[in-house]
Amino acid sequence: MSNTAICPACVGLPEGALEAATAKGTAQIILSLPGIHCIACINGVERALRARDGVVSARVNLSMKRVTVGTNGHVAPETLIDTLELAGFEARALDTSLLGSTSDTYGRGLMTRIAIAGFATMNVMLLSVAVWSGAVGATQHMFHIISASIAVPALIYAAQPFFHNAWSALSVRKLNMDVPISLAIVLAAGMSLYETFVGGAQAYFDAALSLTFFLLIGRYLDHRSRKAAASAAAQLAALEVPRVMRLRDSLRQMVDFADLRVGDTIQVLPGGRIPVDGIITDGQSQIDRSLLTGESRPLHATSGTAVSAGEVNMTGPLTIRAMTVGADTTLRKMVTMVDAAESVRNRYTAIADRAAAIYAPAVHLLALSAFVVWLIISGDLRLSLNIAVAVLIITCPCALGLAVPAVSTTAAGRLFRAGLLVKDGTALERLAEVNTVVFDKTGTLTMPAAGHTALDPATRSIALALTQNATHPVSQAIAAALIGTAPATITDQREHPGHGLSARYDGRQVRLGSGAWLGTQQGTYIQIGDQMPQKIALRSDLRDGAADLVAAWQAAGLTVHLLSGDDTAETARVAGLLGIEHWQAETKPDAKVQYIKTLAATGAKVLMVGDGLNDTAALAAAHASVSPATAADASRAASDIVLLNDSLRPMIDLPLVARSARQRVLENFAIAAGYNAIAIPIALLGFATPLLAAIAMSASSITVLLNALRLRGRV
């Protein structure tokens, strides 16, 4: 991968107004430009591409860091990438089909409806000013007719999202928040039409339109906050390589990514993104894993090294045998985790929905009561209907419905940008309640590294064969220490959580794992057949950010515990380095679960942070859980949040963000309750017209959304 282009114009140049990326030509190619910063970069990229034969047009979108290139159909993406690399700009291929599938049709539809409702509202209000200024008789009637001709078509189109949702609920004999909204819009417009036809003095087309306009704004803001993490997932998915060099029968052929199968051999050139999870069969290179793990240090990869989709080959050509393709790759699983975070509803949301379901019939009953009481008191049908409509409008449960999703999606988007994937929709709620943290040691707080060990060549080959494809950090450290050794041929390989690895070699069973499992002293050993186990020297280095994380969480009031399957001396050493008072060594998987249950029995809300297969049960048993992206698949599946970075520092703010999100939710409920406590009596007493009711209700919804958006910048 080339270095990011140096941009001499980045300082002092403002970001100009950018048009959406479009391109002319018979074919379109979209490239990611992660290193561009300013207008000078835009001009440099476009100039370099337009000078290339076959390129018809090139348009850069700075905010999305993309360039859309129109070609004559005979230019490959790789050629354009090479052109930009020579010009000093880093470029990556984006899958156009995936980008297209994520187009925000619903959001664009809402924007169109907002524009129509806003335009109609302004025009009807101008006509209303004329009426309020004293227009009477035929002039007043004419203005009402013009207002109706503008308002009715606009409402039929712009209010469709509310009408559709309300009808869906009523068709199954249920109520939702859109039922009173739709009823308020229909009644306000219906009463206004009636007044227009009978030549009355009052018409509230502006109230119906402004209600629709403000509600659509709130609905769009909510949609945008929900879209944040999903948009990041789409960008992640689009980085999958759309075309791949496949090697078959000594022939090289460019094929679509979708045509790859498990077992295919592919070639990835320097600067190319690895498209599959697989094993390197030939070549050596430096691998940039920053996209997936946030790890800044490149990984030295050679034959036998496992690589993942989304990583970048930096220095040398590699031949890779595909082990997983398509939806099973690491990159696609990461996308799935982001999508899952958006689809799961948390308990607070369920409470809000139940409250809205109770609230809707209460509002209808309140409006009906207001109509009946005012009709009895005044005998004026129009006045009574006006007050009933004002009650319906002013009590629309929009703020209540937006209170939780606006906060949870904003918080999840912020954490994703920091390098944390929120997998479970209830995770933030549970994290806010956490008061105790239990850390696994190896692979979480420490990263193992193999020291010098006097293994004979045959044993070294067997050890490499056992560990080269394993996910546990100890196995990866041993494999890294045996680089240059040819792996032995083994069969029937198995992983034993909490113990180690086993396989068969030359008819004999071979095992690599803890000394307790192999019937010897503490430490890590390898045993071949009935031979005496041989010790493998290991050391543990603190993971980057571990000390800062533990200190910050202790300062935040969390009680920190350390559990490890390692020996007492090593566990005590790490606990001492990190200032952890509560620790336990030689802990098996079932003992970790029991440890967490014991803490929970004392009233502790436990956050478990672990990475190994032996941590899976503990992660599931804890009140909340976090695992790094380098963790075993089962551990990532059991955890609520996945850390993408190699460093632990992004986790420092995690409990603070969760607590702040909970506070914002409580504030939003208070805003909604306070608004109703003030507004409902005003409407019942007849002091709020439908127009004022619409403005007040919309203001409360927008206040809730703006309060949630405070999470984007600070906690």
pLDDT of residue 16: 33
Identify whether residues 561 and 639 lie together within a single domain.
Answer: yes
In a domain, 574, yes or no: yes
Q: For residues 279 and 305, state if they share a domain.
A: yes
CA distance 551 to 294: 22
pLDDT band at 670, cuts 50/70/90?
A: confident
State pLDDT tens for residues 67-107. 888 888 778 777 888 888 888 787 876 655 544 444 567 88
Q: Is residue 65 part of a domain?
A: yes
pLDDT tier, 133 (very low <50, low <70, confident <90, very high otherwise): low
CATH number for the domain that contains residue 292? 2.70.150.10
Identify whether 475 is part of a domain.
yes
| Residue 499 in this model has a pLDDT that exceeds 70 | yes
The pLDDT of 668-679, averaged and rounded, is 80
- Same structural domain, 200 and 304: no
Q: Please, are residues 712 and 411 in contact by the beta-carbon 8 Å criterion?
A: no
- Beta bridge partner(s), residue 313: 287
| Predicted local distance difference test score (pLDDT) of residue 551 | 93
* Phi, psi angles (nearest 5°) of residue 381: -65, -45
Angle ∠(553,339,628) on CA atoms, nearest 5? 35
**The one-letter amino acid at 437:** V
Residue 460 has which token pair?
Answer: 């070294």
The candidate with the shortest Cα–Cα distance to 636, out of 626, 644, 650, is: 626
Rounded CA-CA distance 488/512 in Å is: 14
Q: Looking at residue 113, what is its pLDDT?
A: 94
**Predicted local distance difference test score (pLDDT) of residue 462:** 92
Q: Is the dihedral of CA 671, 674, 680, 686 positive or negative?
A: negative
Dihedral of CA 638/640/643/644: which sign? positive
Asked whether residue 318 falls in the same domain as residue 252, the answer is yes
- Of 691, 427, 445, 688, the residue nearest 573 (C-alpha): 445
DSSP 483: T
Q: What is the H or E stretch that residue 55 is in?
A: strand 55-61
Beta-strand (E) ranges in 218-334? 243-248, 251-256, 265-268, 277-282, 285-288, 299-301, 306-307, 312-313, 318-324
Ranges of H-type helices in 346-471? 347-378, 381-394, 398-402, 405-418, 427-432, 457-467
| Tokens at 527, concatenated | 């045993």
Could you report the per-residue pLDDT of 426-451, keeping only the tens digit for each?
778 888 889 999 998 877 888 766 65
- Domain of residue 274 covers 243-328
Question: In this structure, are residues 89 and 44 in contact, taking their beta carbons and an 8 Å threshold?
Answer: yes
Domain assignment present for 13: no
Give how far the C-alpha of residue 441 lies from the chain's centroid of Cα atoms, to the nearest Å. 27
Do 466 and 590 belong to one domain?
A: no
The CATH code of the domain that includes 466 is: 3.40.1110.10
Task: Indicate if 112 and 191 belong to the same structural domain.
Answer: yes
Which of 538, 559, 589 is where one domain is finished?
Answer: 538
* Closest CA relative to residue 517, chosen from 558, 565, 563: 565
Average pLDDT estimate for 283-307: 70
Query: Which pLDDT score is estimated for 197?
Result: 83
Q: Is 133 a domain residue?
A: yes
Give yes or no for residue 182 having a pLDDT over 90. Answer: no
- DSSP for 183-227 reads HHHHHHHHHHHHHHHHT-S---HHHHHHHHHHHHHHHHHHHHHHH
Residue 561: which pLDDT band, with cuts at 50, 70 and 90? very high
Q: What pLDDT does 26 receive? A: 61
Looking at 515, 538, 561, the residue that finishes a domain is 538
Rounded Cα distance between 277 and 325, Å, is: 7
Q: What DSSP line would sit under 80-116, residue for residue?
A: HHHHHHHTT---EE--HHHHHHT--HHHHHHHHHHHH
* Distance of alpha carbon 183 from alpha carbon 393, whole angstroms: 9
For the stretch 30-67, pLDDT in tens is 887 866 766 667 878 888 898 888 888 888 876 567 78
How far is Cα 642 from Cα 656, in angstroms, rounded to an integer?
A: 17
Domains contained in the chain, number: 5
On the 0-12 / 13-18 / 19+ scale of CB atoms within 10 A, 20 is exposed
Residues 239-260: pLDDT tens digits?
556 678 888 877 788 787 778 8
- The pLDDT of residue 227 is 54
The answer on 556 and 440 residing in a single domain is yes
DSSP state of 47: H
CA distances from 647 to 148, 429, 546 (A): 62, 24, 8
Of 477, 422, 418, 467, nearest to 446 by C-alpha is 477
Residue 354 neighbours by CB distance under 10 Å: 10
Better-scored residue on pLDDT, 545 or 711: 545
Specify burial of residue 632 (Cβ count, 10 A radius: 0-12, 13-18, 19+). buried
286 belongs to a structural domain: yes
For all residues of the chain together, what is the average pLDDT? 77
pLDDT at residue 691, rounded to an integer: 63
Query: What integer pLDDT is reported at residue 591 of this predicted model?
Result: 82
pLDDT for res 239: 56
Identify whether residues 167 and 291 lie together within a single domain: no
Can you say whether the dihedral through the CA atoms of 477, 478, 484, 487 is positive or negative? negative
Residues 288 and 158 reside in one and the same domain: no
pLDDT digits over 606-634, tens only?
999 987 656 777 887 788 889 887 665 55
Mark whether 590 is an active-site residue: no
Residue 298, token pair as written in the block: 């490149």
Let me know whether 587 and 629 are in one domain. Answer: yes
Coil vs helix vs strand at 657: helix
Residue 308 placed within a domain: yes
**Residue 157: predicted pLDDT:** 95
pTM of the model: 0.52
Q: Are 462 and 490 in contact (CB under 8 A)?
A: yes
Q: Is residue 413 part of a domain?
A: no
Catalytic residue among 440, 611, 640, 646: 440
Q: Are residues 72 and 157 in the same domain?
A: no
105-119, 154-168, 427-441, 474-488, range with the lowest pLDDT: 474-488
The enclosing domain of 639 has a CATH number of: 3.40.50.1000
pLDDT for position 504? 93
Kindly state whether residues 217 and 293 are assigned to the same domain. Answer: no
The CATH number given to whatever domain includes residue 68 is: 3.30.70.100
